[in-house]
C-alpha cells in the first residue's frame, strides 16, 4: 500500500494509474476505521482496478462547540487495517496541506444542507462538500463510496457532483451494525458503558417506525411522535431530532403516500456523544 | 469546428481528446466576441493541442437589477468568428442545461470576492466561480485563459482552482484596447455615441495614475483621489469605484511600498452601461 501525506505526491500516483487506464474507487473517511468503512472498501475493490482511501478529520465540518479535538484518531492502527484489506493507496494529509492560510473557498449545497443535521450543525455540510470536492479533484476517481449512516451527506455529495458536472459515480452502501443493532461509528468508542447499552434504542426505534408504516399507519405526524417517544424512553437520551422526511428532498412529509420513499432519521445525544441513524422505508 | 449544446456531448468529445492524449486549452466567454477574446484563443492555440471556447451568458453572475437580458448576444456571428479562428470546439449550452430545477450548489471565494466589483455586485463572483467550476469539470482543460480586464475575476478563479486542488493552470492575457484606449468589452456596443467618446476617460485616468506613481507619489490616498477626479471630469460618468489595491489581496493600499505591485481599478457607469478597466503598476 502506498501512503501519501502531500497532495502533490498523491496527484502524481493518480496520474500513473490514469496513464495505465486503471479505474479508481475512492473511500473518504475520518479514520478510526470500523467494519462500516471496510464494507465500503470491499465494494470499491469489487468495482474498480485500484482503491484510494483518505483519512482526514476535516476541521471545516465541525462547529466551534463540536468534538473536533475529541474525535478519536489512531492512524497507525488504521494504516495496518487498510494494508491488510489490500487497499492500494492511503491519503492522510495534515490540516495545513489542505487548508493553507490563503484558503478561502466555500462550497454549499443549499436546500439539502438545511434540514436534519444541517439544522443542529450549521456549516457542517458546507465543510463536507468543500473537503469532498477537494479530495475528488485530487483522487479523480470514477466512483466514490459513502455509507448510508450519513444519508444526508450522501444526498449532498450526490447533488454536488451532479450540480457541478463532476464525472464521478456516487455509490451508497448499507449501514453496518453492531450485534445489538447500533450503527457502527467511530464515535461509539466515546460512549460510557451505560450509554453504550442504551444506544441501541436508535435502531430499535427506527425498526418500530418501519413496523408502524408497514402496519398501515399513514399519518406522518403520528409516526414521528412514536419515533420520538421510543427514543426518549432510553435513559440519558437527549433527542436532537427524530424526523420522517422525503428520501429525495429531505423535506418533512405530512401524509405517507403509497409507493413513496421516506427516510426515518434520528440524532440522539448521550452525554457529549451525538449518534445518528436512519432507515429508508418504501411506503 | 465541433459545436455542442449538451454537456454530455461535450464530455464525450473531451474524452476522445484525452484518449488521444491531446492537451486542451479553454476560453470561457459570454459571447459577442471581440479581439480581446480572440487574443485569448490565439494564446490557447499556441500552448495546447486543442482549444475549447464556451459561450454562455451566465444568469447566476448577474444581480436582479443588472443587464442579464440586455447583455448583447449574437451566436451565429460568434460561431463564424470562432470557426474562422480555427477553434476546435464551441460549447454553447442553454441555461437549463447548466442549471436544471434541481440545481442548488454555490461556490464562493470569500475574501477576494468582497472588494471592488464584489461591493457593487454582491453574488457576482459566486456566480462566476460556480459556472467556471462547472465548465472546468466539463472541459477538463490543462489551461484556462482569462483576460486582465476582469482582473478580480482572474484572481478569484486562480484562488478557486488552487483552493480546490484543480489540476488546471490559470493564464491571464493583457487587455486589448480600441484605438482610443477603451478596453474592449462586449458591453461597449450598448454605449450611445456621446458616451462612447467620453468612455476613453477610464484608460486615460489609469495612465495618469501610472504616471503619478512613476513620478514618485507614494501616498495612495492622493493617487486614488486624482484617479477619481480624472474620471469625474468626463461628461455623464458616474464613478462606481476608483481604487488602488494590492495586486494579490485586492485590499486597499495606504502607502505605496517600493517594489510592491498594485492595481489601479475603476468601474464607471455611462447611462445604464457599466464599464471596468484596470492597470497593474509595479511601484
Domain spans in chain B, listed from the N-terminal domain onward: 2-173, 186-282
The CATH architecture annotation of domain B186-282 reads: 2-Layer Sandwich (3.30)
Residue pLDDT, tens place only, A131-166: 999 999 999 999 999 999 999 999 999 999 999 999
| Closest Cα in chain A to B98 | A163
Are B102 and A163 within 8 A, CB to CB?
yes
* DSSP-assigned letter for residue B199: T
Task: Please name the residue that has the C-alpha cell 460618468.
Answer: B237
A156: left (phi over 0), alpha (psi -120 to 50) or beta: alpha
pLDDT tens by residue, A196-206 = 999 999 999 99
Report pLDDT digits (tens) over B169-203: 999 999 999 999 999 999 999 999 999 999 999 99
Q: Per the structure block, which three cell numbers stand in for A45?
A: 475493490
Chain A residue numbers touching B109 (CB-CB < 8 A): 104-105
In A235-264, the residues whose Cβ lies within 8 Å of chain B are none
How many whole angstroms from its chain centre is CA A196?
20
A134 with B164: Cβ contact below 8 A: yes
From chain B, pick out residues whose CB is under 8 angstroms from the CB of A52.
none
**Chain B residues near residue A137 by CB distance under 8 angstroms:** 164-167
Q: Is A133 on the interface with B (CB under 8 A)?
A: yes
Cβ <8 Å between B109 and A105: yes
Are A164 and B105 contacting, i.e. CB atoms less than 8 angstroms apart? yes
Reported ipTM = 0.96
> Which residue has 442549471 as its cell numbers?
B99
Nearest Cα to B52, choosing from B161, B168, B154, B181?
Answer: B168
- Largest interatomic CA distance in chain B: 57
- A219: which strand partners? A255
Sign, CA torsion B79/B81/B82/B84: positive
Q: Which residue of B has its CA nearest to A109?
A: B105
B117 touches chain A (CB under 8 A): no
Chain B residues with beta carbon closer than 8 angstroms to that of A109: 104-105
pLDDT string in tens for chain B (283-residue length): 999 999 999 999 999 999 999 999 999 999 999 999 999 999 999 999 999 999 999 999 999 999 999 999 999 999 999 999 999 999 999 999 999 999 999 999 999 999 999 999 999 999 999 999 999 999 999 999 999 999 999 999 999 999 999 999 999 999 999 999 999 999 999 999 999 999 999 999 999 999 999 999 999 999 999 999 999 999 999 999 999 999 999 999 989 999 999 999 999 999 999 999 999 999 9
Facing B134 at nearest CB: one of A102, A111, A165: A165
Q: What angle do CA B167, B58, B249 make, to 5 degrees?
A: 55
Domain spanning B2-173, CATH class: alpha beta
C-beta atoms of B105 and A110 within 8 A = yes
The verdict on A179 touching B (C-beta cutoff 8 Å) is no
**Do the two domains A2-173 and A186-282 of this chain adopt the same fold?**
no
- Around Cβ A225, how many Cβ atoms within 10 Å? 12
- The answer to whether residue B104 neighbours chain A at the CB level (below 8 Å) is yes
Amino acid at each position: 500500500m502506498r501512503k501519501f501525506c502531500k497532495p502533490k505526491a498523491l496527484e502524481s500516483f493518480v496520474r500513473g494509474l490514469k496513464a495505465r487506464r486503471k479505474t479508481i474507487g475512492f473511500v473518504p473517511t475520518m479514520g478510526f476505521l470500523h467494519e462500516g468503512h471496510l464494507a465500503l472498501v470491499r465494494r470499491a475493490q469489487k468495482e474498480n482496478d485500484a482503491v484510494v482511501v483518505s483519512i482526514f478529520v476535516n476541521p471545516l465540518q465541525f462547529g466551534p462547540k463540536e468534538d473536533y479535538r475529541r474525535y478519536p484518531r489512531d492512524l497507525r492502527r488504521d494504516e495496518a487495517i487498510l494494508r491488510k484489506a489490500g487497499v492500494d493507496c492511503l491519503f492522510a494529509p495534515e490540516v495545513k496541506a489542505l487548508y493553507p492560510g490563503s484558503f478561502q473557498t466555500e462550497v454549499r449545497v443549499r436546500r439539502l444542507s438545511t434540514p436534519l443535521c444541517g439544522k443542529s450543525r450549521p456549516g457542517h455540510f458546507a465543510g463536507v462538500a468543500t473537503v469532498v470536492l477537494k479530495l475528488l479533484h485530487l483522487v479523480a476517481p470514477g466512483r466514490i463510496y459513502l455509507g448510508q449512516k450519513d444519508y444526508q451527506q450522501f444526498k449532498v455529495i450526490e447533488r454536488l457532483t451532479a450540480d457541478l458536472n463532476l464525472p464521478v459515480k456516487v455509490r451508497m452502501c448499507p449501514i453496518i451494525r453492531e450485534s445489538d443493532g447500533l450503527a457502527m461509528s467511530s464515535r461509539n468508542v466515546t460512549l460510557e458503558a451505560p450509554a453504550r447499552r442504551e444506544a441501541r434504542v436508535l435502531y430499535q426505534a427506527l425498526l418500530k417506525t418501519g413496523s408502524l408504516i408497514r402496519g398501515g399507519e399513514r399519518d406522518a405526524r403520528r409516526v414521528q411522535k412514536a419515533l420520538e417517544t421510543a427514543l426518549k424512553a432510553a435513559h440519558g437520551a437527549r433527542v436532537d431530532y427524530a424526523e420522517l422526511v422525503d428520501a429525495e428532498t429531505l423535506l418533512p412529509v405530512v401524509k405517507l403516500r403509497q409507493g413513496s420513499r421516506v427516510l426515518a432519521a434520528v440524532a440522539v445525544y448521550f452525554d457529549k456523544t451525538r449518534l445518528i441513524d436512519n432507515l429508508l422505508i418504501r411506503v
